[in-house]
Amino acid sequence: MARRSFSLLKTLTKPTTSFSLTPTPTSRSVTYMPRPGDGAPRAVTLIPGDGIGPLVTDAVEQVMSAMHAPVYFEKYEVHGDMNRFPAEVIESIKKNKVCLKGGLKTPVGGGVSSLNVSLRKELDLYASLVNCFNLPGLPTRHENVDIVVIRENTEGEYSGLEHEVITKFCSERIAKYAFEYAYLNNRKQVTAVHKANIMKLADGLFLESCREVATKYPSIKYSEIIVDNCCMQLVSKPEQFDVMVTPNLYGNLVANTAAGIAGGTGVMPGGNVGADYAVFEQGASAGNVGKEKMVEQKKANPVALLLSSAMMLRHLQFPSFADRLETAVKHVISEGKCRTKDLGGDSTTQEVVDAVIANLD
C-alpha cells in the first residue's frame, strides 16, 4: 500500500507538500488558495487532563508557539474523577467547535461514568478515528501498515449502557462517514468488523447499513470480517486492511491492536468528530494515563498528540502548518537520535519537543 500523509477527520483541503525529509519548493503541489480572512487565529479549547496529559499538551503548546500557528488555546482543568464536565468547558467547546485534550482517567467499577464517554455523547461526537501507520525509521514487526479505524462512538456496550443495542440511525451515519472518509482520502477499501454470527440483531443491523451505503460508492471495495478473525488477521497480515468501520466496543479493541502493531500508542494520532464539533486526542487510549513514573521523569511520548494536532490544523484549514508539523515529527523519528523509552530511547518529553522545533522548516 502506498505511503500517504496520515489521515484527517475531514478532508477540507489538500496538503500543500508531500512528506520529504528535505522538502524543496519543487515538491509542493498546486498552491492552497485561502479565502480572505482564513488566516485569522482560531480559538481551541484545551483540556490537559490526567497522567501524561499535561506533559503532552504542553508539548503541543510549545510547538504551536514556535510555528506561530494561527491558533490560541482556552485551557481548562478537567480530571477523570469529576462527576461531570464543568458547564464552562462544554460552553467553550461549543463556541470554538474544536478541542484538544489529554487523557482523562476513568475509574474502574463503582458506578462512576467515564468523562471521555460523556463528552462524546454530550457533543454527539459519533465518529472516532484512529490512524495506525508505520513511521519511517521506526522498526516494527510489519511493514506497509496504514490503517484507519473508524468506530461508532455513542451507543452500544462501550457507551456505558451495557445492554443497549445499536440503532439503524447510528449504524447508517457511521457507515456513511467511513465511506465518505475513504472517498475524500483516496482510500481503496472499507472493511466492516462485526460479530453478526452471534449478535444477529445488533451487528446484523450494523452490517445491513454498511452494505446499503457501500452501493453508493462503487469505486471503493467493500468487505466484511468477523471480529475474532479480524484480530488474528491484524497481527498476522495487517497490511491487507485500509479503512475499518466498527461498532463501538470492537473499535476500541481493534484500534489499540492496530496501534501496537504499527509502532505503539505513543505515536498514533486520532480524534472524534460529529456534525458540529471535533475533539482531537491521542489516537489509541491504552496507557495514555496512569504511568506515574513516566510523569515524574517527564518522559512521556508527545508524538501521538503532536500528530493529532496536525490533524486538527488540517481540520481548521491550515494545511501548510499541518504539513510543517508532520514533516518535523517524522524527521525526528526517522533520524532516531531523540526517542522516548517506548520507542527504544531514553529522551525526555522536552528533548523530543526541542528536536521537533529544531526541525520545523
pLDDT mean by block of 10 residues, the chain; 361 residues:
50 42 58 90 96 96 98 96 94 98 79 80 96 95 96 71 70 97 98 89 91 98 96 96 94 93 94 97 74 88 97 96 97 96 95 98 87
First to last CA, the chain: 28
Q: Using CA of residue 356, residue 35, residue 74, residue 121, what is the dihedral sign? A: negative
pTM of the model: 0.89
> Who's near 48: CB < 8 A, 6+ residues apart?
54, 57, 58, 75, 77, 101, 102
Q: What is the pLDDT of residue 93?
A: 98
Instruction: Quote the pLDDT of residue 235.
Output: 95
Structure confidence at residue 312 (pLDDT): 98
Q: Looking at residue 28, what DSSP letter applies?
A: B
Predicted local distance difference test score (pLDDT) of residue 20:
47
Contacts of residue 319, defined as CB under 8 A and 6 or more positions apart, other chains included, come to: 13, 14, 15, 16, 32, 313
Largest CA distance in the chain: 59
